[in-house]
Chain A
Amino acid sequence: MATGATSTSSVSKGCFVIHPQKVSSSRKRKSEGKYVGFPRVPGESDEHCRARREIYTDTWSKVEELVSSLHTNLNDKVFGDLLEFINKSVSSNKRCRVKNEIPTGAFITGVNMPDHDAIFSQLQDNLLKITPYVSRLCSKSCPNIKLIVKEATSQIMETEYCVDKEVEPEFAKFNPRKGNITFGIFKQWYELREAGKGDEKRPVVFILEDFESFQPKALQDFVTICSLYVDKLPIVLLFGIATIPAVIHQLLPRSISSCLCIEKFHAQAAITYLLEVIDRIFISPEFAFKLGPKVFQYLYENFLFHDFSLQNFIFGLKFSMMDHFYGNPLSVLCSKSNIDAIDEFSHEQLEIVRKSSSFRRYAEQQDREELRLLLLDNEHTIKVISEKLEDMNSYHHHFFPVLRCLASLVAKLPGYPMGKKCRDVYEHCLKTSVKELDVYHQAMKMAVFLAKDELVPVLEKCVELLNSAIKKQEAICDDFDEYVQALKTALLKFEELSKQNASMTFATFTEASPKIVSSITNRFELQEKLKNAVYNRKKESPFEKTRESAISTLDKMFQKYLSCPAEQTLHEIFYYDQAETVKQRLSGHPRVAIQTALNNPRYYMNCSCCDIEPGSIQDTLPDISVAFKLHLECGRLINLYDWLQAFMTVTEPPAKAKKKAKNDEQQTLQARFIQAVSELQFLGFIKATKRKTDHVARLTWGSC
């Protein structure tokens, strides 16, 4: 217990809330003024520290905005379809009353559960444009029919009662807080509200978010009730289905499903959305912050292997970004607008730059005089660094358009040696430069054999991409010009050839073949002739020549610009590649954590007493750790008495006390041992067994 002012006067044991004292607050405020952002490294000015935080918030908000706008755009179509469906079904329901079916939309969302909430709230916002009567039901809050009805009606009515505080007297009796609202009462309320609307009644939409998890019986009753009222209320049901639409028939028997009139709507698959996000955020020079190959791959695979959840991917991205700006003092330069900050770099900061591996590599390539200057002359270093930053910027502006060209080319190749999507190509190029990439060379070999009608669109696309890049950044990307010209001439040649070809090929072919056949005298000669003919023709064909030259132009371009970012000087400023940290933070490994805690308590407790070699046992360790380490040495069954003896020898204090005291001590030790054992049992390492008395069974194997 604390002493002095913080101690309590109570005699009894218990928990006490001790409020922080006023005195410290002024000091705190002072420190608040100082603390402006991420932790400072020595030599870093306050301004830079603040800038890092500002750049981070700025970049993140831009990314977030982009993501959310993408989200709405992608789902726009399906939402539009849904709205149209609702409008149409409400009006058509009036026309043919005989039907008495409930118009139902099966909205297939895909299995990415963490994202569903966002999708449905967007959907709700969209629906609110056409009708105020929208209610979102999720299975957790609706385990039975009573609660479903209550949720469905009160969600709609309550919003009305909150918005206009002054409830008109005629609506007063419908207050959902006063009593249970049934559908009958809801109908009366609805009719009162829509009394002035005439024929154009606004629909009532019930969204069942996680359709699969609803209790089938409650759901069936709910649908039955809806079908009773559908001719008086324009009810529309929306089922959010994560798996397969056939689940509707698993949950609803035919007598119920015959009350429905189901139409299907597919939400955009999560993967297309993710690819779009990657395309916009990573494969573009817009954001200076980039993910390194390992982190990028980890986040992407996490998405594919585990949850299909975009939200988790974005969280991962946010974490990496945060960690980058938080932990890397050089990240103050990771923004286009803030490159000037280099001029104010202190000596310590420059030292950090000098220590970075890519800068060292660069420096070692220079001659001795230059190296000396780089290491000792701060001003010179700053000049070099700002040059290098410029280089990096232009590298990015070249890299991405060329990458897209490569992606459009390899997407046409049979077997997709570098993957189908731009993202796959990007992942390859992030890891290694194309020069050293086997799949790249393989792809280029294949590209030489592309048919004309496949190659021409690719070339056209490339020209278009390069042109748009030039248009955007004329100063930086002007060296694309020569490639554009080369490609354009190739395209022109193709066009000419195709005009000639129509007549030419046929003629040459018919000419050539009789020549070969006429002069054969033996088999060997024929073979030779055929070989020659193939060889000659290959050389001759003007189309092939042009094709080869076009591909070699592209190849040259790819090799020049697609070097991997890790080879660039100062890439550490822009690329975050701490995969281990990300892994550790983003995916929990409960078992590993427990074992680390038991094997090496110091890792978590950070105490000086437990500083021991791994594998050794010592009495300063916590009891459970000692017991755990001892049990590792045992086989499948553990004799409790032996275990206790071992435990006592480890933990027994060396002091030779009197016999009586020793007895007491032993009892305490025994109690501690029992507690440790039961804790281990709770953690699932051992369990009681009936096979042998006084034994427990181990549930893990070996020394892990």
Chain B
Amino acid sequence: MEVNDEVFDEIQDKVLFREKQISTLLNLFNRRNSCSCGSIFVYGHTATGKNYVLETIFEKLQLPSIFVNCVECFNARLMYEHILNQLQILQPDCEEDKEFVRCDNMNDFIRMMKKCLTIENFSEETLFIVVDKCERLRDMEVNLLPTFLRLNELTGCNICVVFISEIIFEKFRQGSGVREPFQMQFPDYSKSELLEIMCLDAPAEHPQAFYHGYCQLLLSVFYNVCRDLKELSYLARLNFPKYCEPITNGEADYSNVKKLWRNIEPHLRKAMSTVFLHEVSSSQWEQIQEGTHGIKGLSSYSTVELPFYSKYLLLAAYLASHNPAKTDRQFFCKTTAKKMTKRAKVAAKFGVKTSSQMKGPHQFVLDRLMAIFYSIVDEKVPASAVILTQLSSLVTLRFLSQVSANDQLDSPKYKCLVSLDLIKAIARQLEFDLGQYLYDFINQ
């Protein structure tokens, strides 16, 4: 292999703790001009350096490569066109404003690939096609995965397809014609490895050891809930200014770890509840920490201001969704307030076993919803179209969902999607005793 030790070391310097994977990949890629392995399947969790390793190798060795993301190219045609367009750009004598290639089936794709790679004297080098998020290939046309797995065989050209995924290859086996690719796993980083990688983005103005200590501290707090390198380094960057604050103020020096810890601890605790949520931007986060601004996290706004009757409609929908239909008489009939029918009693016996809070909402018909609505609203509400439009606006707001098909006009069925907390807040606004009406709470 023409890769000399110098380049290898350079790659090693950029990518930590991936020596084994890099050397295997380099061996598989083989020499520039000779045939390489047809397909390689790379898998591992998020933020384990799969993409980064490949990108660095291609960049350092100046290999012709095309990256395809299956989320972006969500159907076969887009994939073909994306690859072919990229191929045009790779060609040494590519014209600036060439029309975009059109290609919508596999046959054309193979033919055009062949044409590009052989006739237009693409040098003998191996062409690398990296298919990212390749688990999406399974949802597209059936022939896509098998063809990409044996692309070099079909085109007869020197092509190596690298698949990147977060799941193992066993989950890809479906249909026929799948050729086993070479599989390679990127294992998770260990705690110490994470620490060392995080230390790479230490700011210049503070000593290296100080940042190291900070990262260690951060990891000790967050390692249990989150091992995603990206998220961790995001957290590190977000909280670092706060950590340095005593130093910039002159209250403490680098050695006074205890003081620094006491200063940062409450903030980290707060940040713990919003890991991964990114609900506030860094600038707003800083404002929250200073406590000057009245901003709260996204989730802290749990109530919503709804029109008066919409609130009752939502309450009625919640009750209809979480109470068994057979117990409606118990709750909403004014004449037989406390008496239960035999049937309701039987239903109650069965109901005890499975709480609806556990099972999730049931569907209900419109008539039942309206009946409950009219029984819980104190005033006499005329049955107007305005009430019904509110129902459909609740559906668009995703508080309800329509279960039956759209064309079923007769008795549409709905489900209530709101959480107990939200409905409790709404009931409180209306001074409505929700506990009295919820079957689960009565029978506990």
B386 touches A254 (CB 8 A): no
Does B309 reach chain A (CB closer than 8 Å)?
yes
A262 touches B280 (CB 8 A): yes
- Chain B interface category by residue count: 35 or more
A184 touches B299 (CB 8 A): no
Which residues of the partner chain A approach B422 to less than 8 Å between Cβ atoms? 244
B72 touches A228 (CB 8 A): yes
Q: Distance in Å from the Cβ of B33 to the closest Cβ of chain A?
A: 29
Q: Distance in Å from the Cβ of A583 to the closest Cβ of chain B?
A: 9
Q: Distance in Å from the Cβ of A346 to the closest Cβ of chain B?
A: 42
Does A623 reach chain B (CB closer than 8 Å)?
no
B393 touches A113 (CB 8 A): yes
CB contact under 8 A between A257 and B278, given known A242-B397, A244-B302, A587-B385: yes
Q: Distance in Å from the Cβ of B293 to the closest Cβ of chain A?
A: 11
Interface digits, A240-267 against B, CB 8 Å rule (1 contact, 0 not)?
Answer: 0011111111000011011011111000
CA distance A591 to B280 in the complex (A): 49
Cβ-neighbour of B390 out of A108, A246, A255, A306 (below 8 A): A306
Interface digits, B402-428 against A, CB 8 Å rule (1 contact, 0 not)?
Answer: 000000001000000000001000000
Which residues of the partner chain B approach A212 to less than 8 Å between Cβ atoms? 396-398
CA distance A262 to B301 in the complex (A): 15
B280 touches A305 (CB 8 A): no
Residue of A nearest to B393 (CB): A113
CB contact under 8 A between A224 and B71, given known A111-B397, A184-B82: yes
A307 touches B281 (CB 8 A): no
Which residues of the partner chain A approach B46 to less than 8 Å between Cβ atoms? 255
CA distance A257 to B276 in the complex (A): 7
Q: Which of A111, A173, A212 has the largest number of chain B CB atoms within 10 A?
A: A111
Q: Distance in Å from the Cβ of B314 to the closest Cβ of chain A?
A: 11
CA distance A263 to B284 in the complex (A): 7
CA distance A467 to B284 in the complex (A): 45
B78 touches A182 (CB 8 A): yes
A228 touches B231 (CB 8 A): no
Q: Distance in Å from the Cβ of A590 to the closest Cβ of chain B?
A: 6
B74 touches A146 (CB 8 A): yes
A249 touches B386 (CB 8 A): no
Q: Distance in Å from the Cβ of A335 to the closest Cβ of chain B?
A: 33
| Stretch of B21-29, B97-105, B168-176, B204-212 contacting A (4+ beta carbons < 8 Å) | B97-105
Which residues of the partner chain B approach A101 to less than 8 Å between Cβ atoms? 278
Does B308 reach chain A (CB closer than 8 Å)?
yes
CA distance A141 to B367 in the complex (A): 31
Which residues of the partner chain A approach B72 to less than 8 Å between Cβ atoms? 182-184, 224-225, 228
Q: Distance in Å from the Cβ of B284 to the closest Cβ of chain A?
A: 6
Which residues of the partner chain B approach A245 to less than 8 Å between Cβ atoms? 279, 298-299, 301
CA distance A261 to B308 in the complex (A): 34
Interface of chain B: mostly helix, strand, loop or mixed: loop
Does A373 reach chain B (CB closer than 8 Å)?
no
Cβ-neighbour of B100 out of A88, A179, A304 (below 8 A): A179
Which residues of the partner chain B approach A121 to less than 8 Å between Cβ atoms? none
Does B88 reach chain A (CB closer than 8 Å)?
no
Does B73 reach chain A (CB closer than 8 Å)?
yes
CA distance A569 to B228 in the complex (A): 78
B278 touches A260 (CB 8 A): yes
Which residues of the partner chain A approach B250 to less than 8 Å between Cβ atoms? none
CA distance A115 to B413 in the complex (A): 28
Which residues of the partner chain B approach A249 to less than 8 Å between Cβ atoms? 277, 279, 298-299
A221 touches B305 (CB 8 A): no
A221 touches B310 (CB 8 A): no
A113 touches B307 (CB 8 A): no
Cβ-neighbour of A243 out of B228, B277, B299, B399 (below 8 A): B399
Q: Which of A110, A246, A247, A589 has the largest number of chain B CB atoms within 10 A?
A: A246
Does A477 reach chain B (CB closer than 8 Å)?
no
B308 touches A305 (CB 8 A): yes
CA distance A99 to B278 in the complex (A): 12
CA distance A588 to B387 in the complex (A): 10
Q: Distance in Å from the Cβ of B325 to the closest Cβ of chain A?
A: 18
Does B75 reach chain A (CB closer than 8 Å)?
yes
CB contact under 8 A between A106 and B390, given known A224-B71, A254-B277, A257-B276: no
Residue of A nearest to B201 (CB): A98
B→A interface (CB under 8 Å): 46, 69, 71-75, 78, 81-82, 85, 97, 99-100, 102, 201, 228, 230-231, 233-234, 237, 276-284, 295, 298-299, 301-310, 382-387, 389-390, 393, 396-399, 410, 422
A→B interface (CB under 8 Å): 88-89, 98-99, 101, 103, 106, 108, 110-111, 113, 145-146, 169-170, 173, 179-180, 182-185, 210, 212-213, 221, 224-225, 228, 242-249, 254-255, 257-258, 260-264, 269, 302, 304-308, 587-592, 684
| 8 further contact pairs, Cβ within 8 A, besides A257-B276, A258-B234 | A170-B97, A213-B396, A228-B69, A244-B303, A263-B280, A304-B307, A308-B307, A592-B382
The contact sample of 12 A-B pairs, CB cut-off 8 A, is: A110-B305, A111-B397, A184-B82, A210-B396, A225-B72, A244-B304, A245-B298, A246-B299, A261-B281, A264-B298, A587-B385, A592-B382
